[in-house]
Amino acid sequence: MDVDSGLGLMAACYGAGALSSLLLARLSGRLALGVGHLAAFAGAVAGLGIALGVLLGAPGRTLTQPLPILFPFARLSLSVDGLSAYFLFVISLVAVAAALYGPAYLRAHSPDAGPARQAAQGFALNVFLGSMAFVCCADDALTFLFCWEGMTLASYVLVVSDDRDGENARAGLLYMVMAHGGTALLLVAFLILTERSGAFDFMALRAAARDLDPATRTTLFFLAFSGFAAKAGVVPLHVWLPRAHPAAPSHVSALMSGVMLKVAIYGILRFAFDLLAPVAGPLPFSWGWIVLFVGTISAVLGVLYALQQHDLKRLLAFHSVENIGIILIGVGLAMILWRQEGVGGALATVALTAALLHTVNHAAFKGLLFLGAGSVLCRTHVRNMEELGGLARRMPWTAGLFLLGAIAISALPPLNGFVSEWLTFQALLGSASRFHGPAGLVIVFAAAMLALTGGLAAACFVKAFGVTFLGRPRTSHAEHATEAPPSMIAAMVWLGAVCVALGVAPGYAMPLLDAPTATLLHGPVASAVVTARGPLVLSTALMPSGADATAISMTMVAALLLSLTAIAWILRRGLQPALHRAAPTWTCGMKPTSRFDYTATAFAKPLRLVFEALYHPRREVTRETAGTPYVLRRIHYAGEVVDLAETQVYHRVEREISALSQAIRARSTGRIYGYIGFVLGALFVALLLSELGR
Amino acid sequence: MTGERPLALVLLEMTLLVLAGPLVTGAIQKMKARLQCRQGAGVLQPYRDLTKLFRKGTVQADTASGLFRSIPVLVVAATVAAGAFVPVVRAGPPAFPLGDALMLLGLLALARFLTAVGALDAGGAFGGMGASREMTIAPLVEPVLMMVVFSTAIAAGTTELGALAAHRGTSWLLAWSAADFLGFAAMLLLLPAETGRIPVDNPDTHLELTMLHEGMLLEHSGPGLGCMVLASHTRQIVIVAVASALFFPVGPAGAGVVGVLVGAGAFAGKILALAIYLALVESSYAKLRLFRVPQYLGVGFVCALTALALRIL
Amino acid sequence: MAETLLWVLPLIPTVTALLMLTTRDRRVLSALDVSGSAILFALALVLAREVAVGGPRTLGVFRLDDVGLVFLLLLVVLTLAVSIYTVGWLEQALEVGNMKAEFLRSYFALVHAFVATMVVTVLADNLGILWIAMEGTTITSAVLIGYHGHHHGLEAAWKYIIVTTIGISFGLFGTVLIYAAAADVQGGAGAMSWSAIMKIAPTLHPGIVRIGFIFAMVGYGTKAGLAPMHLWLPDAHSQAPTPVSALLSGVLIKCALLGIIRFQTIAAAACGPAFPAQVLLIFGLISVVVATPFILAQRDIKRLLGYHSVEHVGIVALGLGFGGRVGTYGALLHVVNHGITKALAFFAAGTAIARYGSRDMRAIGGLLAVAPIGATLLMLAALSLAGVPPFSIFVSELMVLRAGIGQGHWIAIAIFLSMVVVIFAGLLHHVGVMAFGEPTATASREPEAWFPLAGMLLLAAIMILLGITLPGSFDGILQRATEVIVD
Amino acid sequence: MSEEALHAVIDDLGALLLFTMILIVAAGQIYRAIYAVSAQSLLIALAAAVLATATGNTDLWVIAGVTLAVKAVALPWVLHWIVQRMDIRREIEPVIPIAATLALSVVIVVASFQLTTSLGPVRQAIAGNALPVGISLTLTGVLVMATRKTALTQMVGLFASENGIFFTAMAVTQGMPLIIEIGVILDVILAALVMTILVLRVRSTVDADVADLDRLRG
């Protein structure tokens, strides 16, 4: 496919999808849905084409596409450089799956949806995908902002479109407000630059940023960073995320968690390394360290809160907070190391590679997990794990793929999650031995926290998978579940395949990372550093210490595992033929029922107690006794963990503001002489002030 | 760089670990028995148990999914694979990139993950309880272990265990820096936790309320259980081997057959020493309450962090 | 040709108004209504082209320059939309009983008289005529506000007429002072025509002009609904019949703004641009801040929209206050954008109210379920009012913001932005309450009528169009208007 | 008549106007207020006549006549008629004590004089008392509206402040163009008409004073 015409094609696909789903809805909602998703699929494929074309094309290749002049005061254009192409690639990767998954899911999940709703969903999905793709391709502030808000708006529509109950509306509201606040900050950051440059296109902004004084530069960066952080769900700006993402239809949740957050990462990278980067010398000291710190906090808190969720999709959403944190650790490290004299360059490349690789990895496995949760949801209509269980026997494909995703997200070999975390660790270690003094300690601490995060994630997904899919069904919903329709399975298989491929042969993915690393760092590219010893080997050559660098080969390890599994399987069959029978689980001789199965709450309880200080758990136990307190009829236990940021900050602020405005409103007596008095007073004061002003 | 350890050697070391695994357990049991003034079973008892298990038939929970049968296979495979990354008889990186300490820990974590999943598969309270507790302790142990690894890795500039051992060379206690001592102390604190022994876990008990790891094996039987048991033996020796590779000199790199034999002898000695340590700890301490374990590990964490700090500052 | 149009333009609504009195038939009245607005629209477009190519046209006390043109276009577009909307709205209103069939003709006559007065204000070059027409709008619209006859309406009408008349009399005082200052330099009736004054503005006595401007600012500001003189506004805009509310919020307060702009230019020329800019800035900020709590804690949807007008007038004032080409351009653009969006919002709200028979937003629930298109339009309008792209208001707010940043008014920017975000939250909350959830029992389930929708869709189309692009011709008008104001 | 004499006369008239305004503020009874307003309008007409003779501007004669007819006779009569038509209480109901209102009006007068003295060198007509008197008349009229509860007194205040503007217009600018003046007066008449209608309708529908309604708030 001709790459240059690709952008037009992609835009055409998404546009056609949006319009057709609006127009066809009058005929039939299902048709509209189908056509809309088909167009989205085509658009995603086109996106993949463009991205690969640029990424694997001639080095430094950039395709630019001027847009018609919509506003007299701004020249709009699109441009796909290495970075844009990479994120476009990530977006399209998941978009393909989502478009494939969508129709069947929506039909199965809400069969009674009216055509208006289906039209809205088809329309919004296309707009959402399109605007996400074009945010990454924007080459001027205006296009960026438009697509950015379009992205927010479309996802908002999708969130509130799923069920028309108050919960979704509230979630959507919180989401919109925080996103809007973030956009406001971005707006200011952009406008300060545009005022200096007098134009909106990035080229002019770069030029304007070249002669900024350090203070302004840093202010601008943190304005932009907090704007993007609000979108990326960085702690403490994350509260909207675990509410909004689960509320959306599952394939949209996959997109929001897997991809939309990454667009914010794109923005951070674009600002830090491209728009605001000084002409020469390293980035200002504070940037990288703060990003690193924030990332670490997000990673740990995200997974800790995820541990205590019983809502499957909410749990996954919290894990997005964690993974964004991990990505930010890499990004922050790259910022710290960039252009440091010595071998900082190579290390920076390692760090950035880790971050970018984790970006695509997270997109893949988080997408997979959300789709899995979606097919559970559309078959059982239950999101609470405590009401599920025993699904592995009823939905084997979904279960298997979900397990795959769980292993991947827990950063366990031989899957892709491990690779990017390994690279992050290597970057951390390398820089730790480089920065002596407290800086090094901070980095090492980050490493320890990262390790903790990995362990907790594993615990969390043992719970998520075990309680949802294993044991006995706890309710009739789970009892009568059946396997999801093939198109949904296919979508999950696609993402699962990506996870395996990126895990077993990550070396082959490195060339994809060359373009972005080159665009941002102008230093050694990813494959020059990471796969220096051949595509099958991940290594951190050119490491600072000069000593023999670490090298691992995922492929070899996978092969080793495979062969050992084969051997073990023989062993498993036993040394001699022996009888094999099934019997009920041992429950001390009592007749086992589903009530014997460990619940999610119980599973997470020890960790809840260990980290009590962070959770502030709330529990109430009500006992029904038969007459005497010694005979218990039943005990009812209810407990929950509160998100500190949410309760301590957001709710408080919200209460204060509404109370204040209520009070102010109550003050107004609709008395006309009061009105007149205000007019007179205004005039009088104005006159006096003008006199004093002279 | 040219690797000192060709594929054959690596596989050899791996098999050696697998084979020697039960022996270590047996030795520890024997020493414990002695220390508790009992006769105790023979050192080879674990082998007998294993062969018996592999002959028996299997009883599987009727609620378990198809996954359940393959769990032991994957677990043992992952654990054994982890054994491939430890230098046993000869220091120095392998001739070809394979895996490093992080990969090793990752594979052990994978094994643990699968074990816990398997434990939940059968349903019933004990599996869940075991899994829950195991997955509570593990996330607390892993970071500390990693920091111990880092504390040596930062000096060597690599996380590949063979290279680490080579970097340490044959330097012995006298050549240790304060960081090494602290790191080693942390390692000693962690060993019982990682090998599932008192004071963190109690491998002998089958009293449901006290067991962690054993609880997860309850529903396994016959060859499946055999695999799980073998896996835990291997896991134990692998951890011990890591500890010895990190802190004690491994057979000199590039030495010939003699060197290998010397290395093997040295290895046996080191393993024995650490086994004695484990036996002593097990028979001189009581098992901790589950919620005291974090404090216990906290000590290890502090040691490791200090070790790192000393390396960096 | 163009000159004669200057006379004809105000006559058309007047004639239409008189024709209205000749019949009682509803269909005829509606037909007259629409056709009258259509003719006005067409002629205004002709005139617009004339002015766009041939520059400002003057005839006696009337003069149309590009500044006036911006407002004129807004006026005629909204008049047309209102007429189309009214056709459908009337049926609902007659069913509900808000309107009495026998009074219809007086209603239509008054509406067109109202439009006529507004046309005059836009065309007036003579500040005295401007004032007379402005007072004329007050009188006609006051009757319309009280039209429903229930005592809420009467109360609103009373407050409206009293307060705005006071304001306007201050405006007159300002006019008198400016005239006095001008008459010193160059006596005679010419001293009252804005264009003539502008020629000699730099020579005017700054002290008098200063006082005059403040009087005019407060006076016309009262009419424009700038805080703290805004208190009548939510009452009036909420009590008027919906089409009238749309005209009040969409056009009338903009005409008052035109008055302010006229005086601002004079003051800027006479005592330096800094002084009027400061005054506008302060009033603008006060308006934005004052509106916020009332928007958050509001229950009546039309009052909500009223307070929103206060906020947006404040934003326009901010734009003018930040000044510079960008700020002024943004302010003018915002005048148009807000006019159109607010009219749309009032229309959508009106249909919702008719459907539920209540204006309490907590009583209006599940609108999306019973009236998908209307609800969608309502949400679009709300999002646009909140300044979300790709809707028109985002662009103008962007420019206002840009001007502020360019001038370095950091505190103003901070206040402005935080208020905008808070208001966004409040507005979205209110709309969410109305749109989502299960429809309440009182809601009528009948399908949506097409005529009100047609009027709304027209406006929505313009709203989105102006959001994603700025046609060159329109931009040209705005550019020239900016030049007129800035230098 | 000479320039100085003219200004002297105008200033005296201004003083008288201020006095009538004080009467309006102090009036405890609706009738007094109405009479004071008509007296005030009479003085305005007088001022117009004086200016007309002084400047020979015939427009001013017309204005004088119209003012006399409309503001001095018609409007007060209408107010009077309303009061009698629906026998509302004769007492004025102040929001704040009349004494306080008086104090405020004094403040206004002083402030407006201060305001104009700070103008610097300008023509005598402005430098003289005409402008400050005009300002204080206008503001005080509004002050009356802001401190009275009944609709009628508010109308009275409105007319009073209109008078202030008229006086300023004439005294400071020797009269605005005739058409403007006429238009202004027309507007005033229409406004008065609408207000009257409103008052009567409210009185007839809900038996209350329109200025007392306060259902719409917040």
Answer yes or no: do D138 and C170 touch at CB < 8 A. Answer: yes
User: Is the bond preceding A66 in cis, omega lying within 30 degrees of 0?
Assistant: no
Among C217, C368, C468, select the one facing A70 at the smallest CB separation. C468
Chains sharing 3 or more CB pairs under 8 A with chain B: A
Give the span between the Cα atoms of A191 and A208, in whole angstroms: 11
pLDDT digit string, tens, across residues A180-198:
999 999 999 999 999 888 8
Percent above pLDDT 90 for chain A: 58
Phi, psi at B92, each rounded to 5°? 95, 150
- Residue A324 within any structural domain of the chain: yes
Residue type (1 letter), B214: E
Q: Which two tokens stand for residue D218?
A: 């917040």
Chains sharing 3 or more CB pairs under 8 A with chain D: A, C
What are the respective helix, strand and coil percentages of chain C, to the nearest 5?
Answer: 85, 0, 15
The pLDDT assigned to B5 comes to 82
The pLDDT assigned to B253 comes to 65
**Exposure pattern of A378-401 as b/e (b: 16+ CB <10 Å)?**
bbbebbbbbbbbbbbbbbebbbbb
pLDDT digit string, tens, across residues B234-287:
999 999 999 999 988 887 766 678 888 888 888 999 999 999 999 999 988 888
Residue C157 and residue C146 in contact, taking contact as beta carbons nearer than 8 Å: yes
The pLDDT assigned to C170 comes to 94
Among A462, A557, A579, select the one facing B57 at the smallest CB separation. A579
Residue A617 and residue A281 in contact, taking contact as beta carbons nearer than 8 Å: no
Among A116, A164, A660, select the one facing C436 at the smallest CB separation. A164
Q: What is the DSSP letter of C406?
A: H
Residue A4 forms contact with C (CB below 8 Å): no
The pLDDT assigned to B1 comes to 38
Count of alpha carbons within 13 angstroms of residue A442, beta-carbon side: 18
Residue D109 forms contact with A (CB below 8 Å): no
Q: Count how many pairs of residues, chain A against chain B, have C-beta atoms within 8 Å.
A: 323
The pLDDT assigned to C424 comes to 93
Residue in A with minimal Cα distance to D140: A680
Residues on chain A touching C475 (C-beta within 8 angstroms):
72
Average pLDDT value for residue range A425-435? 86
Together in a domain, A654 and A601: no
Residue in A with minimal Cα distance to D93: A673
Give the span between the Cα atoms of A164 and A187, in whole angstroms: 32
Q: Count how many pairs of residues, chain A against chain C, have C-beta atoms within 8 Å.
A: 151
Residue C235 and residue C159 in contact, taking contact as beta carbons nearer than 8 Å: yes
Answer yes or no: do A164 and C292 touch at CB < 8 A. Answer: no
Average pLDDT value for residue range A481-495? 95
Residues on chain A touching B63 (C-beta within 8 angstroms):
390, 471-472, 584-585, 592
The pLDDT assigned to A1 comes to 45
Residues on chain C touching D191 (C-beta within 8 angstroms):
135, 138-139, 161, 165
Residue in D with minimal Cα distance to A681: D143
The pLDDT assigned to B108 comes to 96
Burial of C181 (0-12, 13-18, 19+ CB in 10 A): buried
Strands C62-64 and C57-59: antiparallel
- Residue B134 within any structural domain of the chain: yes
Interface ipTM: 0.90
The pLDDT assigned to C15 comes to 95
Q: How far is C384 from chain D (nearest CA, A)?
A: 24
Answer yes or no: do C214 and A686 touch at CB < 8 A. Answer: yes
Together in a domain, A327 and A443: yes
Chains sharing 3 or more CB pairs under 8 A with chain C: A, D
Cα end-to-end span (Å), chain D: 57
Beta strands in B28-69 (DSSP E): 58-61
Among A449, A456, A574, select the one facing B223 at the smallest CB separation. A574
The pLDDT assigned to C191 comes to 79
- Residue A24 within any structural domain of the chain: no
Together in a domain, A649 and A559: no
What is chain B's length? 313
Q: How far is C143 from chain A (nearest CA, A)?
A: 18
Q: How far is D113 from chain C (nearest CA, A)?
A: 13
The single residue listed with the structure tokens 């700025």 is C470
Tell me which H or E stretch contains A618: strand A618-625
Count of the separate structural domains present in chain A: 2
Cα end-to-end span (Å), chain C: 29
Answer yes or no: do A164 and C417 touch at CB < 8 A. Answer: no
Spans of chain C below 70 pLDDT: 1, 187-189
Higher pLDDT, C483 or A691: C483
Percent above pLDDT 90 for chain B: 51
Q: How far is A245 from chain C (nearest CA, A)?
A: 18
In DSSP terms, C193 is beta-bridged to C126
- Residue A400 within any structural domain of the chain: yes
| Residue B208 confidence class, pLDDT cut points 50, 70, 90 | low
Instruction: Tell me how far the alpha carbon of residue A9 is from its chain's centroid.
Output: 27
Q: Which two tokens stand for residue C248?
A: 């009040």
Q: How far is D75 from chain A (nearest CA, A)?
A: 22
A–D contact (≥3 CB pairs within 8 Å)? yes
- Residue B196 within any structural domain of the chain: yes
Residue in C with minimal Cα distance to D117: C207
Residue type (1 letter), B56: K
Together in a domain, A606 and A676: no
Count of alpha carbons within 13 angstroms of residue D32, beta-carbon side: 13
**Exposure pattern of C372-381 as b/e (b: 16+ CB <10 Å)?**
bbbbbbbbbb
Give the span between the Cα atoms of A212 and A231, in whole angstroms: 26
Domain map (residue ranges) of chain C:
2-486
pLDDT digit string, tens, across residues A342-370:
666 788 999 999 999 999 999 999 999 99
* Residue of A322, A453, A562, A603 to mutate, interface with B, max B Cβ within 10 Å: A603
Q: Is B122 helix (H, G, I), strand (E, B) or coil?
A: coil
In the stretch 204-233 of chain C, residues with CB closer than 8 A to chain D read 205, 207-208, 211
Q: Which domain holds residue A346?
A: 283-565+597-610
Residue in C with minimal Cα distance to D213: C155
What is chain D's length? 218
- Residue B143 within any structural domain of the chain: yes
Residue A419 forms contact with B (CB below 8 Å): no
What are the respective helix, strand and coil percentages of chain A, to the nearest 5?
Answer: 70, 5, 25
Residue C149 forms contact with D (CB below 8 Å): yes
Q: How far is A633 from chain B (nearest CA, A)?
A: 21
The pLDDT assigned to A547 comes to 45
Q: How many helices (H) and strands (E) does chain B have?
A: 11, 1
In sequence order, the 6+-apart residues with CB closer than 8 A to the CB of A96 are A41, A44, A45, A48, A491, A494
Among A70, A116, A177, select the one facing C372 at the smallest CB separation. A116
pLDDT digit string, tens, across residues D132-141:
899 999 999 9
The pLDDT assigned to A545 comes to 46
Answer yes or no: do D114 and A670 touch at CB < 8 A. Answer: no
Which range has the worst mean pLDDT, A467-476, A598-607, A639-648, D53-62?
A: A639-648
pLDDT digit string, tens, across residues A70-121:
888 888 899 999 999 999 999 999 999 999 999 999 999 888 888 888 888 9
pLDDT digit string, tens, across residues A397-420:
999 999 999 999 999 989 999 999
Distances, alpha carbon A534 to alpha carbons A400, A510, B15, B160, in Å: 32, 11, 28, 18
Closest by alpha carbon to A253, among A371, A152, A362? Answer: A371
- Residue A258 within any structural domain of the chain: no
Count of the separate structural domains present in chain B: 1
Q: What is the DSSP letter of B287?
A: P
Answer yes or no: do A177 and C428 touch at CB < 8 A. Answer: yes
The pLDDT assigned to B2 comes to 45
- Residue A76 within any structural domain of the chain: no
- Residue A58 within any structural domain of the chain: no
Q: How far is A667 from chain D (nearest CA, A)?
A: 8
pTM: 0.93
Q: Which domain holds residue B127?
A: 7-312
Residues on chain C touching D164 (C-beta within 8 angstroms):
173
Distances, alpha carbon C35 to alpha carbons C87, C117, C398, in Å: 12, 19, 37
Q: Is the pLDDT of residue B173 over 80?
A: no
Q: Is the pLDDT of residue A171 over 50?
A: yes
Together in a domain, A657 and A549: no
Together in a domain, A375 and A479: yes
Residue B181 and residue B311 in contact, taking contact as beta carbons nearer than 8 Å: no
Q: Which two tokens stand for residue A100?
A: 């494939």
Residue D67 and residue D44 in contact, taking contact as beta carbons nearer than 8 Å: yes
Q: How far is A165 from chain C (nearest CA, A)?
A: 5
Residues on chain C touching D173 (C-beta within 8 angstroms):
176, 179-180, 183
B–C contact (≥3 CB pairs within 8 Å)? no
pLDDT digit string, tens, across residues A293-340:
999 999 999 999 999 998 999 999 999 999 999 999 999 999 999 988
Q: How far is C168 from chain D (nearest CA, A)?
A: 10
Q: How far is A237 from chain B (nearest CA, A)?
A: 26
The pLDDT assigned to A164 comes to 58
Tell me which H or E stretch contains A620: strand A618-625
